[in-house]
Structure 1
Amino acid sequence: MSKIPRVALIAHDKKKIDLIMFVREHLDVFKNCRLYATSTTGNLLKEKVKLELTSFKSGPLGGDLQIGSLIANDEVDFVIFLRDPLTAQPHEPDVTALLRVCDVHNKPLATNLATAEALVMEIGRFLDSSDSGKE
């Protein structure tokens, strides 16, 4: 992993507010990460949380696949993808491909708030250990 954790943030439409609230709650961690997001999610995070991040296309227009490419090229360390399991997604093959690339490349992936909390704890531990190594 790079010295700065690289985190992809994605959320289906009905989960975007959950992700914004989650990121706000853990802003102390996320402000120390290099962040990537799909378009709509990224724009909302920039507007509502004032975070610097790199945005890609929206998920249905290929953004999930763009982030999958970063994962395949070892340019992302963690993925938080809050999925809506109760709504059919028109781009489900892209979603499946993103989940698969996380598995193939052994990248930690959170698909709900409980696992996202666990990932943020791990990112926080990494940041703390990086800080203590600087002294």
Structure 2
Amino acid sequence: KNIALVAHDHRKKDMIEWVEWNVSNLLQHRLTCTGTTGRLVEKAIREKQVDLAIPDDFTMVKLRSGPLGGDQQLGALITEGKIDLIIFFWDPMQPQPHDVDVKALLRIAVLYNVPIACNRSTADFIISSPLMTYEYAPIVPSHEAYLQRELVADPREGRRVDAIRPDGRADDAPVGAPVIGPRWDQRREGENITLN
């Protein structure tokens, strides 16, 4: 499996402890890490090398640091089908300078049905799952309806923005059919426009 390991600064100690505890399992997989987490994980694995032989085919990819684009690099790997699961120890108590990147990474992982462990308990459940030793093909939802939607040039004209309803079903109304309610520039403050 291709396992991504990510940890915010205040959670890196937890990640390294988890890696040391699970190093024999992790050596059977390919690891991808962001920035400093990768350096610390590699160091922890090398220190355990005395007890365990590192397999010849063991690989570890180190991406950029999260705030410097590593989260986005990881998101791109997810969209390419190159990541099977993520162990992401994020810090719920500290704001991050790259919170938008973190949110985007979590969104992409959910969108592509990639399992994410955000705490040690979940990581323990995942790494010990029998599915870790078998080939597993996750069901990735089709996004074809989204890709095929028709967009209107200027939604401010009081017309439909696209031909897909909010519930995801294709809408029979022609593109450009008027929206129920006033145009964007005619509505009162706090009033919503309803799309049918």
TM-score w.r.t. length of structure 1: 0.87
Is 1:30 the counterpart of 2:23? The answer is no
- Aligned position for 1:98: 105
1:103-114 equivalence runs, <5 A = 103-114=110-121
Correspondent of 2:72 among 65, 68, 79: 65
8 Å CA contact 2:20–2:45 kept in 1: the answer is yes
Equivalent-residue separation in structure 2 for 1:22 and 1:107 (angstroms): 20
1:1-135 equivalence runs, <5 A = 5-50=1-46, 52-122=59-129, 125-129=130-134
Deviations 1:54-80 (A, max 9, x none): 101000000011011000110000000
8 Å CA contact 1:56–1:63 kept in 2: the answer is yes
The amino acid across from 2:22 in the alignment is H
**Alignment RMSD:** 1.4
Q: Which has the larger radius of gyration?
A: 2
Q: Report how many aligned residue pairs link the two structures.
A: 124
TM-score w.r.t. length of structure 2: 0.61
Q: Kindly state the Cα deviation for residue 49 of structure 1 after the two structures are TM-superposed.
A: 2.1
SS of residue paired to 1:26:
helix
The answer to which structure has the higher helix fraction is 1
8 Å CA contact 1:11–1:19 kept in 2: the answer is yes
Equivalent-residue separation in structure 2 for 1:126 and 1:65 (angstroms): 27
Q: Kindly state the Cα deviation for residue 107 of structure 1 after the two structures are TM-superposed.
A: 0.4
SS of residue paired to 1:88:
coil
Q: Kindly state the Cα deviation for residue 121 of structure 1 after the two structures are TM-superposed.
A: 1.3
Q: Kindly state the Cα deviation for residue 128 of structure 1 after the two structures are TM-superposed.
A: 4.1
Q: Kindly state the Cα deviation for residue 27 of structure 1 after the two structures are TM-superposed.
A: 1.0
SS of residue paired to 2:128:
helix
Equivalent-residue separation in structure 2 for 1:112 and 1:45 (angstroms): 17
Q: Say which structure, 1 or 2, has more relative contact order (CA 8 Å, 6+ apart).
A: 1
SS of residue paired to 1:86:
coil
Equivalent-residue separation in structure 1 for 2:121 and 2:132 (angstroms): 20
The amino acid across from 1:23 in the alignment is V
SS of residue paired to 1:74:
coil
The amino acid across from 1:121 in the alignment is S
Percent identity between the two aligned chains: 38
- Aligned position for 1:133: none
